[in-house]
């Protein structure tokens, strides 16, 4: 199977550019629930038109329903999925586990693709996606070539990867900066891109969160040989000329092994940020990956370049081969038959007349039948069968050819619906409404063992990093036993290339007596289960509805944190099949990154790395697994408003606090002290768009 080139279509102009330049598939969004809600996108009628246009030309259409969904939006999202099934969409791209579960049951024949927003970057993550019904996963952009090769070798489902376009600083699905700073959630398709603003780093870098655009076009032959199913171009918010250039560059590279210099120059001109980077793929994580949109980057896209790119798609590109035959027989209507790879159309015309001066010329008929006009067809073969002594106007042959090709095009555009049983959703009752009879338990997680106080008797559970040395782990367990606290470990959200290492850490923890593990990435869950642990959902699972809780409970989660992007109004209404928790104190992570914002790459920073925003606020950076977490400078504080939080447990999310600060925070919780200065309520009252 050849490598699929998957192009962005934020509007119909982009879609046409992608198709005419040779894309095998396009991805697009409806008006709601797609990760680029600020694009023009497609309403019902334009979506139907888009699918028809693409299917006529043998191009697949993937619909992005890849935002997080709240309980009160599930029905609307399912209606969009049902319509997608009715009009023959080829696949649906999804982030929300609850929505995926419902669609999988309602329409088992609809291919489901796991969005890159699901942050999947490990083999274990791919395996659990397969068990959940996904047929393809869009892997994280931060994966290296070796990590991708390992996933391809061991994946039970198809893999798709980004090969060109904007590169977010954060691992997709793990960025909350836009939400926290302006209530515009990237997980809800409304990212305001605050990362492109100036953030200064200790090495004097002024734009410490702005990466150059990704480009792996030069590596496409290698990627194809590795076994990736689909390569994806980012850019639903960019110009059609950009799409044309990117698709053409991919197509030319796959055809000739190298992209022509003039095409790559045009691609750089139409959009770049200080050039391109392949740093993650090649494992060259450094400050060289960073870049901004400079004045010269903007002015490079001259009218001449844009005009030359627009000419690439101003006419149909004949991509579909057809075989055509003409039959002209005595006393019978003339007929033309056209055959593509799956359809046959026969068109009848007038009967021929007896030739007076000259018989109908076979070669001229072949010449006329070889013309396809402004259609997506090209003639693969022509067969002409004409009895002697007959005459037929060439205009009649031309009309037969035009009519038959027109009918073939329409026939190709007829969509094959996929069955969708909405009753699956209607039958699910929300009878398990949240009912609380006991006071919520108190949980805590620490990344610094030294900050855990002597008296921890107020806690029910405490989680520490899974890579804690065995000697420290044992003393921690003894301390927990003494205070009747359940000890647990936490797996990092960034596990790039570290699955085996952390599996060994879990074995050590299990042998030491640990039985509980907090997992903030879907790929961490199988590791914990295999180690014999009870699994608790962590901060990165982005749970925003009860159907996600249902699906995770089927995958052995015993409890789960709700997304801190939820307003309390929404969080308090979620029905729960497993215990749920809310973070009531802590410096929320604004981003999970693979490259260190402070230094470009990971160095020994003694745990005091930070970046500074435009208001001179320091944002701490904490190393975790194979990544870094950028923390909000102000902690969320809810101790004085606990009566407004309905959940099974509260979590104190300790990060960079010392032992004295931890003790002070615990005392404030126990006394439910009023809010001090320099705190935030997070998104609990303002929510996100």
Residue 564's domain is classified under what CATH number? 3.20.20.70
Look up tokens 């901060």; give the residue: 539
CA distances from 155 to 95, 499, 675 (A): 19, 14, 49
In angstroms, the CA 599 to CA 368 distance is: 66
Residues 348 and 477 both lie in one domain = no
Write down the pLDDT at residue 381.
96
Q: What does the pLDDT look like over 653-687, one tens digit per residue?
A: 999 999 999 999 999 999 999 999 999 999 999 99
Helix, strand and coil percent figures for the chain, each rounded to 5? 35, 20, 45
State the average pLDDT over residues 477-492: 96
Domain span including residue 540: 440-587+635-689
Residues 241 and 331 both lie in one domain = no
CA 159 to chain CA centroid, Å, is 12
Q: How far apart are the first and last CA of the chain?
A: 41
Length of the chain: 689
In angstroms, the CA 488 to CA 304 distance is: 62
Write down the pLDDT at residue 296.
82
Task: From 28, 72, 74, select the one nearest 48 (Cα to Cα).
Answer: 28
Handedness of CA 595, 599, 600, 602 (dihedral sign): negative
Residues 455 and 526 both lie in one domain = yes
Please check whether residue 365 lies inside any domain of the structure.
Answer: yes
Please check whether residue 179 lies inside any domain of the structure.
Answer: no
Strand (E) or helix (H) holding 547: helix 546-554
Task: From 346, 357, 355, 349, select the one nearest 397 (Cα to Cα).
Answer: 349
Q: What does the pLDDT look like over 350-367, one tens digit per residue?
A: 999 998 889 999 999 999
State the average pLDDT over residues 384-400: 94
Residues 309 and 324 both lie in one domain = no
Please check whether residue 195 lies inside any domain of the structure.
Answer: no
Structure tokens at 624: 């975790």
Q: Which of 297, 316, 335 is the last residue of a domain?
A: 316
Q: Which of 316, 331, 356 is the last residue of a domain?
A: 316
Of 198-207, 253-262, 535-544, minimum mean pLDDT range: 198-207
Q: Which of 276, 298, 316 is the last residue of a domain?
A: 316
In angstroms, the CA 353 to CA 393 distance is: 9
State the average pLDDT over residues 459-483: 96
In angstroms, the CA 650 to CA 662 distance is: 16
Write down the pLDDT at residue 125.
98
Residues 245 and 370 both lie in one domain = no
* Pairing, β 610-612 against β 618-624: antiparallel
| Residue 301 pLDDT > 90 | no
Write down the pLDDT at residue 433.
52
In angstroms, the CA 239 to CA 306 distance is: 9
Please check whether residue 423 lies inside any domain of the structure.
Answer: no
Specify the higher pLDDT residue, 342 or 61. 61
CB-CB contact of 77 with 69 (8 Å) = yes
Residues 13 and 52 both lie in one domain = yes
CA distances from 621 to 196, 257, 608 (A): 18, 41, 7
Q: What does the pLDDT look like over 398-446, one tens digit per residue?
A: 999 999 999 999 999 988 999 999 777 665 544 445 555 578 999 999 9
Q: What does the pLDDT look like over 179-195, one tens digit per residue?
A: 999 999 999 999 999 99
**SS3 (DSSP) at 183:** coil
State the average pLDDT over residues 448-452: 93
Residues 312 and 324 both lie in one domain = no
Please check whether residue 135 lies inside any domain of the structure.
Answer: yes
Residues 147 and 37 both lie in one domain = yes
Write down the pLDDT at residue 295.
80
Residues 337 and 260 both lie in one domain = no
What's the mean pLDDT when you consider all of the chain?
Answer: 93
The confidence band for 304, taking pLDDT boundaries of 50, 70 and 90, is confident
Write down the pLDDT at residue 599.
86
Please check whether residue 34 lies inside any domain of the structure.
Answer: yes
Strand (E) or helix (H) holding 123: helix 123-131
Task: From 95, 107, 110, 258, select the one nearest 187 (Cα to Cα).
Answer: 95
Q: Which of 73-82, 154-163, 413-422 has the highest mean pLDDT?
A: 154-163
Please check whether residue 71 lies inside any domain of the structure.
Answer: yes
- Backbone torsion region of residue 542, taken as left when φ is above 0, otherwise alpha when ψ lies between -120 and 50, otherwise beta: left
Write down the pLDDT at residue 17.
97
Write down the pLDDT at residue 425.
65
Per cent of the chain over pLDDT 70 is 97
Q: How many degrees, rounded to 5, is the angle at CA 539 between CA 437 and CA 633? A: 110
3-state secondary structure 370-425: CCCCCCCEEEEEEEEEECCCEECCHHHHHHHHHHHHHHHHHHHCCCCCCCCCCHHH
Write down the pLDDT at residue 431.
46
| Residue 106 pLDDT > 90 | yes
Strand (E) or helix (H) holding 55: helix 44-56
Residues 330 and 310 both lie in one domain = no
Q: What does the pLDDT look like over 551-565, one tens digit per residue?
A: 999 999 999 999 999
CB-CB contact of 22 with 247 (8 Å) = yes
Query: pTM for the whole thing?
Result: 0.95
Residues 243 and 98 both lie in one domain = yes
Q: Which residues pair with 160 in a beta bridge?
A: 138, 230
Q: Which residues pair with 518 in a beta bridge?
A: 490, 536
Please check whether residue 287 lies inside any domain of the structure.
Answer: yes
CA distances from 214 to 198, 227, 278, 348, 354 (A): 20, 20, 6, 53, 67
Write down the pLDDT at residue 428.
58
**SS3 (DSSP) at 667:** helix
Per cent of the chain over pLDDT 90 is 85
State the average pLDDT over residues 36-57: 94
Domains in the chain: how many in total?
3
Task: From 540, 456, 531, select the one nearest 489 (Cα to Cα).
Answer: 531
Residues 287 and 333 both lie in one domain = no
| Residue 205 pLDDT > 90 | no
State the average pLDDT over residues 223-236: 97
In angstroms, the CA 23 to CA 39 distance is: 20
In angstroms, the CA 85 to CA 78 distance is: 10
Write down the pLDDT at residue 553.
92
Write down the pLDDT at residue 669.
96
DSSP 8-state assignment for residue 500: H
Write down the pLDDT at residue 606.
67
């Amino acid at each position: 199977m050849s490598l699929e080139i998957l192009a962005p279509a934020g509007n119909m102009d982009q879609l046409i550019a992608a198709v005419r330049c040779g894309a095998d598939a396009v991805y697009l969004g409806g008006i709601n629930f797609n990760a680029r809600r600020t694009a023009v996108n497609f309403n019902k009628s334009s979506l139907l038109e888009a699918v028809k246009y693409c299917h006529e030309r043998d191009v697949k259409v993937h619909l992005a329903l890849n935002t997080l969904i709240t309980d009160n939006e599930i029905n609307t999202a399912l209606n969009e999925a049902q319509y997608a099934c009715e009009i023959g969409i080829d696949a649906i791209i999804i982030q929300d586990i609850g929505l995926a579960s419902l669609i999988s049951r309602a329409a088992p024949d609809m291919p489901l693709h796991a969005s890159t927003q699901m942050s999947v970057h490990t083999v274990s993550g791919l395996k659990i996606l397969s068990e959940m019904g996904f047929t393809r996963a869009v892997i994280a952009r931060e994966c290296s070539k070796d990590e991708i090769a390992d996933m391809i070798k061991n994946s039970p489902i198809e893999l798709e990867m980004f090969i060109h376009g904007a590169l977010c600083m954060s691992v997709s699905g793990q960025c909350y900066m836009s939400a926290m700073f302006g209530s515009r959630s990237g997980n809800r398709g409304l990212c305001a891109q605050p990362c492109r603003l100036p953030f200064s780093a200790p090495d004097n870098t002024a734009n410490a969160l702005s990466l150059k655009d990704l480009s792996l076009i030069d590596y496409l032959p290698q990627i194809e040989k590795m076994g990736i199913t689909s390569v994806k171009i980012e850019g639903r918010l960019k110009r059609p000329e950009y799409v044309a250039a990117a698709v053409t560059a991919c197509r030319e590279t796959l055809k000739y092994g190298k992209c022509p210099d003039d095409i790559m120059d045009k691609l750089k001109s139409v959009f770049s940020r200080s050039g391109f980077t392949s740093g993650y793929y090649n494992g060259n994580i450094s400050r060289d990956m960073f870049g901004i949109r400079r004045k010269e980057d903007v002015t490079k896209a001259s009218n001449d370049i844009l005009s030359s790119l627009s000419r690439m798609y101003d006419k149909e590109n004949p991509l579909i081969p057809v075989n055509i035959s003409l039959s002209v027989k005595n006393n019978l209507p003339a007929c033309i038959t056209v055959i593509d790879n799956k359809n046959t159309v026969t068109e009848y015309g007038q009967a021929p007349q007896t030739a007076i001066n000259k018989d109908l010329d076979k070669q001229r008929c072949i010449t006329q039948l070889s013309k396809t006009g402004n259609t997506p067809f090209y003639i693969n073969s022509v067969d002409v069968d004409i009895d002697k002594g007959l005459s037929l106007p060439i205009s009649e042959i031309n009309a037969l050819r035009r009519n038959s090709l027109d009918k073939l095009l329409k026939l190709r555009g007829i969509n094959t619906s996929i069955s969708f049983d909405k009753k699956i959703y209607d039958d699910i009752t929300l009878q398990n409404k949240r009912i609380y009879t006991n006071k919520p338990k108190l949980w805590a997680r620490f990344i610094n063992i030294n900050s855990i106080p002597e008296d921890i008797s107020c806690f029910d559970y405490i989680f520490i990093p899974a890579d804690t040395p065995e000697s420290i782990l044992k003393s921690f367990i003894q301390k927990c036993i003494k205070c009747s606290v359940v000890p647990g470990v936490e797996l990092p959200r960034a596990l790039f290339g570290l699955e085996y290492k952390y599996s060994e850490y879990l074995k050590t923890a299990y042998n030491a007596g640990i039985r509980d593990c907090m997992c903030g990435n879907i790929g961490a869950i199988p590791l914990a289960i295999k180690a014999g642990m009870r699994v608790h959902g962590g901060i990165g699972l982005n749970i925003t509805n009860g159907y996600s809780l249902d699906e995770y409970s089927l995958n052995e989660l015993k409890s789960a944190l709700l997304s801190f992007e939820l307003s309390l109004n929404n969080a308090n209404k979620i029905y729960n099949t497993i215990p749920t928790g809310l973070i009531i104190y802590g410096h929320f992570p604004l981003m999970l990154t693979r490259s260190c914002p402070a230094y470009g790459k990971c160095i020994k920073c003694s745990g005091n790395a930070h970046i500074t925003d435009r208001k001179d606020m320091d944002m701490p950076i904490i190393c975790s697994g194979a990544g870094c977490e950028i923390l909000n400078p102000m902690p969320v504080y809810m101790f004085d408003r606990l009566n407004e939080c309905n959940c099974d447990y509260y979590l104190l999310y300790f990060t960079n606090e010392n032992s004295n600060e931890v003790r002070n925070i615990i005392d404030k919780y126990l006394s439910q002290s009023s809010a001090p200065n320099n705190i935030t309520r997070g998104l609990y009252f303002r929510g996100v768009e």
